[in-house]
Amino acid sequence: MEKQKEIKVLLVTSRADNGGGPRHIASLLACKSHITFYAAAPQQLPYYPLFQRHCRECLALPFRKFSPGAFLRLIYLVRKEGIDVIHSHGTGGGIYGRLLRLFYPRGVFIHTFHGIHDRGWGVRRILYLLIEKVLGRLTHHYIFVSRSERQRAHSIGIKADNCSVIQNGVDTEYHQNLAVDVDEKKKELVIRPGKTVIGTVGRLCYQKAPETGIRAVSLLIKDKRDVVYIMAGDGEEGDRVREEIARLGLQDSVLLLGDRDDVGEILKVMDIFVLPSRWEGLPLALLEAMASGIPVVASRVTGNTEAVLEGATGMLVEPESPEELFCALTLLLDNPDLRREMGVRGQKTAAENFDHVRMARETFEVYQGMLGPYNKTGGGRF
């Protein structure tokens, strides 16, 4: 039997902190099969050490900043190692990864967005679309993490005719089978007995709209609901989030847990999971909550609408509407049987449609399929 040819893949990202893009890359590395991976990423926790363990070579990039020196080192790396596929992730990674094609035409260049960041109408949006238009000329293939993300890209003029939709995936078996002493975990998190736990996982940033969840919880407290809201994650909006909690007098009702390495265990103490984002690609935290058997309430935006079967596995509400989120939470708080049914159906949906092994397999199939037509011609469709 002929030995399968080794494929050399460079994964490029401008983030290695807690976030969907780095976690997506970690899932690919965990299922790598016959592929030899290389990585270029910032030296951040928790993912850079993991990238180092799973990759033949790992090159350090600055966090969300373009460095000519780092770019030159990338050029040297791909030429020295004879990289077959350059797969960039996110906005910053996409700039580094796809510009490499100008200096390394023999490679196949693939890009995954992890969310289309075009919100607003100012200079920032115009610049984002202009950069993507230019980099699109250097992209052989796009991978979208959801069908709705692909539709969003097309609607704003990102021409991605050569593309695949590979829905995000998580380790559903791990989350389904994880055994946690819920009472002990609540003690560790200083959650008083008898409280109904509403929770979220994600960066404290504008995209995730943390203030929407906090304001909805404020309405629940005013309605005399015995709830606590736990928020796992940190980010650039941390100070503003703390100010909002103080302004609403919610210091005893909202717990900021910061970045955690025990998210799976934290999910198990939640009765309801909330994700009120302004936009998404296909959020891993939402999929992990479903895999954990938790009913979810999420904003009606790209990605969320694809994961949540409204009324079956959870509920969808308009983004930036604390009042609508409050109403959805009230319905679930008043109906524990409905919560259990949604949790069971969500867990089944996650296992059937959003497992990381399936995601990795489909991604590797794209690598294999793209190598034929482009390597034979020396790379390039233009």
Same domain, 252 and 268: yes
Q: Indicate whether 12 and 147 sit together in one domain.
A: yes
- One domain for residues 229 and 338: yes
Count of structural domains, the chain: 2
Q: What percent of the chain has pLDDT over 70?
A: 95
- The neighbour count for residue 130, using CB atoms within 10 Å, is 10
Is position 33 within any domain? Answer: yes
Are 361 and 331 found together in one domain? no
- Residue 382 counted as domain residue: no
Per cent of the chain over pLDDT 90 is 85
**Domain assignment present for 271:** yes
What pLDDT is recorded for position 127?
85
Sheet containing 272-275: which strands, arranged edge to edge?
254-258, 227-232, 196-201, 272-275, 296-299, 314-317
**Residue-wise pLDDT tens digits, 44-84:** 999 999 999 999 999 999 998 999 999 999 999 999 999 99
- In a domain, residue 315? The reply is yes
160 shares its domain with 177:
no
The answer to whether position 380 is within a domain reads no
Same domain, 89 and 220: no
Check whether 136 has a pLDDT greater than 50.
yes
Neighbours of 345 (CB within 10 A): 18
What CATH number did the domain enclosing 85 receive? 3.40.50.2000
Given a cut of 60, whether residue 374 has pLDDT beyond it is no
- Say if residue 46 is preceded by a cis peptide, omega within 30 of 0: yes
Name residue, tokens 């009702």. 253
pLDDT at 368 (0 to 100): 93
pLDDT at residue 155, as a whole number: 84
Are the C-beta atoms of 210 and 180 separated by less than 8 Å?
Answer: no
pLDDT at 34: 83
Cβ neighbours for 79, distance < 8 A, ≥ 6 positions apart: 104
Q: How confident is the model at residue 4 (pLDDT cuts 50, 70, 90)?
A: low
- Residue 242 located in a structural domain: yes
Summarised one tens digit per residue, pLDDT across range 341-351 is 999 999 999 99
pLDDT grade, residue 128 (50/70/90)? confident
Residues 299 and 361 in one domain: no
Instruction: List the 35-41 sheet strands across, edge first.
Output: 57-60, 35-41, 7-13, 85-89, 108-112, 141-144, 163-165
- Interval 177-195 mean pLDDT: 96
Higher confidence at residue 362 or residue 159?
362
Examine the domain organization and report whether 183 and 323 are in the same domain.
Answer: yes
Considering the domain boundaries, does residue 49 fall inside one?
Answer: yes
Question: Looking at the structure, do residues 165 and 293 belong to the same domain, yes or no?
Answer: no
Range of the domain at 234: 172-353
- In a domain? residue 339: yes
Regarding whether 258 and 121 lie in a shared domain, the answer is no
Q: Identify whether residues 122 and 67 lie together within a single domain.
A: yes
Instruction: Give yes or no: residues 126 and 222 share one domain.
Output: no
Q: Is the dihedral of CA 178, 293, 89, 78 positive or negative?
A: positive
Residue range 203-228, pLDDT digits in tens = 999 999 999 999 999 999 999 999 99
156 or 28, greater pLDDT = 28
What's the rounded mean pLDDT across residues 29-51?
93
Tell me: pLDDT of 377 over 50. no
